[in-house]
Amino acid sequence: MISRDTVLSKIRRSLGVTGAETERRAAVTDRLQRAPAGVIPKRGQVGRAEQQALFTDMAEKVQASVARVASPADIPEAVADYLRGRNLPLSLKMGSDERLNALPFAEKTPFLEIALGASDGGDLVGLSHAFAGIAETGTVVLESGPDNPSTLNFLPDTHIVVVRAQDIEGDYETMLAKVRDRYGKGVMPRTVNMITGPSRSGDIEQTLLLGAHGPRDLHILVVGP
């Protein structure tokens, strides 16, 4: 018996069940089919403009920085301005996301050195495009894949994330419903990373340490009205 079976057997014994009960299995099947929403806090249940303002406020409270740009065409200069302002090299790594690759980097910021692909750990700056933002916690949601490799979420010291203003939702349940709508019921990308602020740890003497398990800086570009 493998460890997993041992653990599950102990749980069943403590509950006095076998795992084959018709009523219990039917309840699980029903829940999986209906995907009922969990508790949704009121904080994010506001209008679109208020959700975007809340997203910015909550993201900044967890040490992320947020900037607004009017259109995708403004992203290259916004990225360059951020790198200059932080005294970072004018270079970055990004995936094959069509939205990012369609940006006028060559026209507006020809001095930026851009490499494509997953990070090997030697990149100081990563650029990704988020699937969505969550207003109630200031969280960006990124799907894994060659368009936005998960390595860019964790390995570079600085992570710049683009999210469309229209993709900022009030709560997690609405965002998860969008994932189901996009991929189909019961299907998910290999990884969905929900990122709230830069990486941090407070385990050692309760001292906050940024960059403990990933980027020490998270910069979010919110695009559009």
Q: Please count the residues of the chain.
A: 225
pLDDT over 80 (residue 201): no
Summarize pLDDT for 30-60 with one digit per residue, the tens.
888 888 888 888 999 999 999 999 999 999 9
pLDDT, average across residues 113-125: 96
Q: Picking from 76-80, 152-156, 214-218, which range would have the lowest pLDDT averaged per residue?
A: 214-218
pLDDT over 90 (residue 185): no
Closest among 42, 81, 87, 56 to 220, alpha carbons compared:
56
Write down the mean pLDDT value for the chain. 92
pTM: 0.85
CA 1 to chain centre: 37
Architecture of domain 43-223: 3-Layer(aba) Sandwich (3.40)
Q: Where are the domains of the chain?
A: 1-34, 43-223
CA 128 to chain centre: 9
Place 208 in a pLDDT band, splitting at 50, 70 and 90.
low
Q: Report the pLDDT value the prediction gives residue 1, as an integer from 0 to 100.
A: 58
Report, in angstroms and rounded to the nearest whole number, the Rg of the chain calculated over CA atoms: 21
The residue behind tokens 């709560």 is 171
Which stretches of 35-150 are DSSP H helices? 48-61, 75-85, 98-101, 105-108
Q: Report the pLDDT value the prediction gives residue 211, as an integer from 0 to 100.
A: 63
Place 204 in a pLDDT band, splitting at 50, 70 and 90.
low
**Strand partners for 113:** 91
pLDDT over 80 (residue 203): no
Query: Which DSSP letter does residue 220 get?
Result: E
pLDDT, average across residues 79-102: 97
